[in-house]
Structure 1
Amino acid sequence: MTTLVRGRGWARTHPLAVDALLATVVLICMVIGSFAEPHGQQGPTWGTRTPDLPSLLLMTLGAFALVFRRRAPWSVLGATCAASLAELLTGEPRAPVVMCAVIALFTVAARTDRSTTWRIGVITMAGLTGVAMLSGPMPWYSQENLGIFAWTGMAAAAGDAVRSRRAFVAAIRERAERAERTREEEARRRVAEERLRIARDLHDVVAHHIALVNVQAGVAAHVMDKRPDQAKEALAHVRDASRSALNELRATVGLLRQTGDPEAPTEPAPGLHRLDELVETFRNAGLPVEVAMGQIGLDLPAAVDLAAFRIIQEALTNVQKHAGAAAKAEVSVVRVGPNVEVTILDDGPGDDKDDKNDRKDKSDVGDASDASGENEGGGHGLIGMRERVGALGGHCSAGPRYGGGFRVHAILPVTAKGGTA
């Protein structure tokens, strides 16, 4: 088996040597055949006739032309057909030079299309057989003339079959390579989506809790000397917020653990069932938040539930950071037909530079890809919202309200097209 594989490899890398060997074998067969008399009294006999010098020359020229059958198949076919016609018209006794034309026709048929194969095959069969019947040294009805017709026809059919098989194998190989590339691209896409999802979760968790820690730490520093009780309360909120941040970070990073690693996260992903807990953290930080939540139902997909929670968390974090100390926020979550609509409003002036950078938005975005390049100097919160909503096939808009304040509105299809939020 190894020898066969090596032989095939050598044949592919040395095509000219293979063709030279084939031409030598064909020449030997033609010379041997020219000494045979097929119509002897007791059947085919050997040595009763000998080829003349012109026949030997034509056989040699035809075999030599086969050496170049892959480099110039059409020219070789023409040369071998010409040698065969010359032998049919002048040869006596006959030499089987037509064997070279049969091999050349097979090579042409294996390298061209089907329609061309049949056209050139019919022309070759008709030409060689017609000349042999009308002007050859044998009677028109002899089996040698019919043999020319049969062998040229089989050569064209065999060449077309080889070409079809090569095309079929090439198509299968190309399909397999395309499938492999598609699998690799799909794997890379899934990895990129998972990295993006984890990055969004990390951003939402860190931004929310660090903003609360910052606010409460500022309150504690401000009232430390005059109102230590209030400072202790603020520090307690800092401790709770930091503990929550650590827990959520541990759960998020736990997604990256390998199978079998210890301490895998067992806490379920946050969702609207934790909305009251989330709102309470903002209220403790000094941000008044009102919540209006309709009958959402218990059939929300996990991706939609998580996306709604993260959108509210990010929007309220932005209000806490940028809307000002006297701002108030309103959260509305309602079910409208096949969608869940999440709305977050605030009435803060938001006049600082950070707000202009981080909350700048004047366009509605329905596809995450539309927002991927929008990062003109602010944070990634709004972009993250749009990516979440776009991944689920929803619609997100965010922008200033008339008369002051900011509005975030997201429409999340209950039947989400994305598998992750």
Structure 2
Amino acid sequence: MLPRVTTETAHEWRQQTETTREPQAEADDEWRRPGPTPEQRRVDLYAGLAATAIALLSLTLARSTGTFALGPPPSGVEQLIWTVAVPLPLIWRRRFPAVSALAVSVAFIGSQVRAVPEWQLSSWALFVAIYTLGAWGQDRRLSRRLRIGVIVAMFAWLGIAYMLSYSEITAETFADAVGPVPPVLAAIVTGILVNALYFGFAYFFGETAWVAARRQHELAEQAERLRRSQAEVREHAVVGERVRIARELHDVVAHHVSVMGVQAAACRRVLDKDPTKARTALASIEETARQAVDELRRMLGVLRARDGDPEGTRQPAGVDQIAAVVDRAGEAGLRATLGVYGDPVPLPESVSQAAYRVVQEAVTNALKHATGASLLDVRIRYLAQEMEVEVSDDGRATRPANTDGLGLIGMRERITAHGGQLEVGPRTGGGWRVRVRFPLPAGGVV
């Protein structure tokens, strides 16, 4: 097949191609397709050598049949050189697509100028070179310009070939023509149509292959991002579950153990002097231990429960159980009081549980760290738009508030989750105070 096209056709085809480009084309220009793998390079080497061997066979057959469509051929050695020069650069077609396409194009025009009789396989080699430049060109703008440049060069050469062969047309050339179209015009139009399809398909298939490679790359990136995102979600879920378990263990264990420690110390001091008080303290320790075990079982049941599991539906501690916490503090030796101010309103279960845990943690800290404390005052206030919980004592803190302690961290997490505010610090006149405000839901105040 001898390509026959015009520069006008190339210009029109280029305009059509540019008008069909998506706005994303500029972004596509920034992507660089990875080079061929070692296996692909080996395939190109073998394919290029095979194409060269077939081209030599085609030359041998053309010379044997005396088919010299392009005119008198050069010497046999020159024919061999041009025949090898056209398909051989295909061995680097994916590794160096621009160099390979230029080499094939120059060799193709040279073989045409020298009227080498082998042009069938050379035409396919040119097609493959243009296609590969479109499919594997690293720089998209350069790739497009080179392909358009090659096509324009082919058009220019073919125009020259038409002009050179026009003087050789005689009356006998189209002696058998019977159609309505003038023979010369019909030959030119046929060449334009054939070569428009030839170069159009080479360009189109190259672009399609490159777009497919880019889409595959994007899918691979999306899959990798999804995999990393899923891994992060799993990791965050594990960390969140660990934090939740640690917070629950701290809230459940620390309070009861602290109460038992204070009661055990009181029992030790009065064991010999007042056995009755010692027995009362031991009974309180026993009851506190039983409550701690019950809460641990409840917590473990919630952690292990699945959807629909009865163990997971057990109601957690809430504001209604704050009185029990205050009573245990009284049993530990403090003069503990509980005051409720305002009209109680129904609270969301999560807010009620958070308030209970705050009081439990504050009482635990008072038992552990408030030296010389004799009074513990717990107050719950139902205001117009919020509920306030305050726990204060009259002792001396043995150390400053540890902002990194697990108890305060858990307290802040619970309060922040409900949009509340936390105040922790020394109280005017001595002692320590923990004050929390939870906003009440709209319409929640009775």
- How far, CA to CA, are the matches of 1:327 and 1:164 in structure 2? 79
Q: CA deviation at 1:19?
A: 0.7
Give the gaps of 5 or more residues in structure 2.
1-35, 167-186, 442-446
Could you say what secondary structure the match of 1:342 adopts? strand
Q: CA deviation at 1:28?
A: 5.3
2:390 touches 2:434 (CA, 8 Å); kept in 1?
Answer: yes
For residue 269 of structure 1, what is the aligned residue in structure 2? 316
- How far, CA to CA, are the matches of 2:288 and 2:144 in structure 1? 82
- Residues 55-98 of structure 1, C-alpha deviation per residue, up to 9 Å, x if partnerless? 43223122211101122111111111110121222225462434
Q: TM-score, normalised to structure 1's length? A: 0.78
Letter in structure 1 aligned against 2:67: R
- How far, CA to CA, are the matches of 1:88 and 1:334 in structure 2? 99
- Aligned with 1:80 (options 99, 104, 109): 104
For residue 212 of structure 1, what is the aligned residue in structure 2? 259
Given the alignment of the two structures, is residue 244 of structure 1 paired with residue 287 of structure 2, yes or no? no
- Aligned with 2:414 (options 367, 388, 391): 388
Given the alignment of the two structures, is residue 18 of structure 1 paired with residue 43 of structure 2, yes or no? yes
Given the alignment of the two structures, is residue 70 of structure 1 paired with residue 87 of structure 2, yes or no? no
- How far, CA to CA, are the matches of 1:338 and 1:59 in structure 2? 92
Q: CA deviation at 1:18?
A: 1.0
Could you say what secondary structure the match of 2:87 adopts? helix
Structure number, greater radius of gyration: 2
Change (3 A) 1:92 1:170: closer
Q: How does 1:202-351 map to 2 (within 5 A)?
A: 202-257=249-304, 264=311, 267-287=314-334, 288-292=336-340, 294-295=342-343, 297-300=345-348, 302-334=349-381, 340-350=387-397
2:89 touches 2:100 (CA, 8 Å); kept in 1?
Answer: yes
- How far, CA to CA, are the matches of 1:100 and 1:122 in structure 2? 17
- How far, CA to CA, are the matches of 1:138 and 1:160 in structure 2? 35
Could you say what secondary structure the match of 2:315 adopts? coil
Given the alignment of the two structures, is residue 184 of structure 1 paired with residue 202 of structure 2, yes or no? no
For residue 219 of structure 2, what is the aligned residue in structure 1? 172
1:224 touches 1:231 (CA, 8 Å); kept in 2?
Answer: yes
- How far, CA to CA, are the matches of 1:384 and 1:198 in structure 2? 11
- How far, CA to CA, are the matches of 2:209 and 2:149 in structure 1? 20
Change (3 A) 1:304 1:35: farther
Could you say what secondary structure the match of 1:403 adopts? coil
Q: How does 1:83-98 map to 2 (within 5 A)?
A: 83-93=107-117, 95-96=119-120, 97-98=122-123
Q: Report the identity percentage.
A: 29
- How far, CA to CA, are the matches of 2:116 and 2:312 in structure 1? 94
1:312 touches 1:344 (CA, 8 Å); kept in 2?
Answer: yes
2:82 touches 2:116 (CA, 8 Å); kept in 1?
Answer: no
Could you say what secondary structure the match of 1:67 adopts? helix
Change (3 A) 1:151 1:295: farther
- How far, CA to CA, are the matches of 2:59 and 2:192 in structure 1? 16
1:294 touches 1:334 (CA, 8 Å); kept in 2?
Answer: yes
Give the gaps of 5 or more residues in structure 1.
1-10, 38-45, 362-373, 416-421
Q: Return the structure number with greater relative CO, CA threshold 8 A, min gap 6.
A: 2
Letter in structure 2 aligned against 1:95: W
Letter in structure 1 aligned against 2:150: T
Q: TM-score, normalised to structure 2's length? A: 0.74
- Aligned with 2:431 (options 405, 411, 418): 405
Q: CA deviation at 1:259?
A: 6.2
Q: CA deviation at 1:102?
A: 2.2
Q: CA deviation at 1:12?
A: 5.6
- Aligned with 1:49 (options 62, 67, 80): 67
Q: CA deviation at 1:199?
A: 0.6
